[in-house]
A and B are shown apart, each in its own frame.
Chain A
């Protein structure tokens, strides 16, 4: 514990007054970023490094891994877990856990399947019912944890068992219900037209650019500290480049037999993931609820004293988590075109928790983002996909995923130790 102020992280260059050269400004910015990383705020770095390393490794070991068809495949394989992980992030930020999210997604999917296939309801009814199921489950779990005071580990472990049973009952002791509704099947099964992909790209990059530039100009005008324009530009170009490359690749023909059936375009599930990512990032970073969520996870006592409606925030986290689990269940059902009692079962929950943590959410609370869920979901999906292509057994795949999770949790614990010099209360 050093009381010496001079050891603090370098301060960002003082705004317009000193007006350093642009190169120096960029270097200062980089130095500030590096010192944040050194002090434990590693952010997305480990997950991004992991994704690159895994892609290089699997690309060398099994060249088909880098094919366009497999890229599209990866999105489909990872989507359900990424959805559930995005919800789990909310619960993890408040320093709780939800072990029931996997089977909650199964129950929601089962209810949708029964409504669509057995009762012949239209798809909006099925999807609304599935999400409403998620909301109800989240309300129940959250109330038991927050109002009754049972540890979330226990409540959601009970949920894990109970929802498994509930899915069995809904599915009549284990029948497999097929989904015939074309709209629901399209969610994880169909692709955008090529032009739709390009249009969406233009809208996304244009919107991002407008937001970034207007924010930068606002901060300059108000005389607040701001990033060098070069850094803002670099970020826009990087995101634009990445998305353009993705759309370009996904718009290539990826059918094994193009004469028979053509397969091109951005999978609809990618659009869904993107929309959910934007929505939850907005909620976490730009709304009062999001701010309070982090505060509750960072120091609940401080949040209480600041007048934050702590109970409501914590319950809402569970509601969002279970609702996103329901969305994950819909995606899984769409992809399989059926629901059975194992939907959302086996390793789904563990992979989802793993994804969130690998992406940078903390098991100690107070840290996490929608981006973490997506990046971590990508890591998990790549590991399973790549090792599957290499013909490794399920046993090996579980083992490796477990090791990666352990590694991520280790990084989390270590960065936590280095990041908080002055102890947490």
Chain B
């Protein structure tokens, strides 16, 4: 079977700083991988490099997405090919109406998939259930993108967009941070709904909490730009119990 994502010895940096120091990771269809790590370990950098944010230097390594060279593609080409990034800090875009924005995005992706474009009425019908799923107010669609949304609404809005765009690979960057337990349940529910044998997700988180709801197949610990340990879902529990220091100490011992 062709992997969805294959990262091989990826080294990358920004503004002259070397941040990712050799990451290898393979994600097969149907799998959920969690990447955990302390603040500053490079989690968001990994997400940014995958989504194609400008300004990052790829020092070495390669990333293949569904068999193609991901790093060659523009961000919009990656999105159309089914890669989705749920932002850690969703951007407020005053003046751009949410419906207008999301319909434009959906139609770009549908065009790419050889599907007919949706008009405004079809679109509203299509998103109705998904808004409910994320327990968001329909009013949100009339407002500018993320403007005036609470922190929790912004995160739920990311997952709502994901539910609408139906990606093959979702990269969730700390989607759980700042959420109360109810919101966490709602967001997880949204992510789980999208789980299928064809799709995959890379769930980035600082805390184990989210992984009670989105149960991963694999857990990777990222420290100082390297994956220092990988395991099953029980690794997350161990981290929760013993903290990141424990692995850091082991790392130092090994060195």
A, B bound: no
Chain B residues near A (Cβ < 8 Å): none
